[in-house]
């Protein structure tokens, strides 16, 4: 990437991190993608203090990432389209973590294609004509 002068508020990475830039929020989104919906399910999965979980769920609802859907006496927390679109962010973190946060071949879980139980491909950034792009092949530009 090549730098262009910009305000932090103009940077989509900074804005994304405003919404999901803490450990717990992305793990809640991960668990919601696994199908968890109830406060108690998240609490059990993540082992978080209840007051912190309450605050994070509220933040994710305020950010439009989760919907709070009344279900009897409680709410279910369900990913919105915006929340489901974080799948790519989670896969990028997963693939980086597999490669760099475990010894080679030692990551105990793998992400598979459900249809044939084969490993998924690596996320790749491509040009319009299909060339694979690294950071050095890209630049950012201010729109007019």
Contacts of a copy of itself in 21-60 (CB under 8 A): 21-23, 26-27, 30-31, 33-36, 46-47
| Shortest CB 77 distance to a copy of itself, Å | 15
Report how far residue 61's alpha carbon sits from residue 15's, in angstroms, rounded to the nearest whole number: 16
Distance (Å) of CA 119 to CA 32, 39, 74, 136: 22, 32, 37, 28
Rg (CA), the chain: 18
| Shortest CB 68 distance to a copy of itself, Å | 18
Answer yes or no whether residue 18 interacts with a copy of itself by CB under 8 A: yes
| Shortest CB 44 distance to a copy of itself, Å | 11
Q: Name residue 23's beta-bridge partners.
A: none
The distance in angstroms from the start CA to the end CA of the chain is 19
Cβ(32)–Cβ(90) under 8 Å? no
Considering the complex, state which of residue 19 and residue 68 has its C-beta at the smaller distance from a copy of itself.
19
Give the binding range for a copy of itself (CB under 8 A) out of 52-60, 70-78, 100-108: 100-108
Q: CA 93, 95, 99, 105 torsion: positive or negative? A: positive
Considering the complex, state which of residue 72 and residue 124 has its C-beta at the smaller distance from a copy of itself.
124
Instruction: Tell me which residue has tokens 């694979």.
Output: 132
One symbol per residue from 111 to 130: x for binding a copy of itself (CB under 8 A), - otherwise; what is it?
xxxxxxxxxxx-xxxxxx--
| Shortest CB 71 distance to a copy of itself, Å | 19
Segment 57 to 96, residues that bind a copy of itself, using CB under 8 A: 64, 82, 84-96
């Amino acid at each position: 990437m090549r730098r262009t002068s910009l305000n932090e508020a103009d940077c989509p990475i900074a804005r994304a991190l405003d919404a999901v830039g803490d450990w717990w929020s992305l793990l809640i989104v991960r668990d919601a993608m696994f199908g968890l919906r109830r406060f108690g399910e998240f609490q059990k999965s993540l082992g978080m203090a209840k007051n912190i979980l309450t605050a994070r769920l509220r933040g994710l609802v305020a950010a439009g990432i989760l919907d709070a859907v009344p279900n009897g006496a409680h709410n279910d927390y369900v990913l919105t389209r915006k929340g489901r679109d974080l799948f790519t962010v989670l896969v990028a973190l997963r693939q980086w973590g597999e490669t760099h946060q475990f010894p080679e071949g030692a990551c105990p879980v793998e992400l598979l294609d459900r249809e044939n139980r084969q490993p998924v491909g690596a996320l790749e950034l491509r040009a319009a004509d299909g060339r694979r792009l690294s950071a050095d092949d890209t630049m950012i530009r201010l729109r007019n």
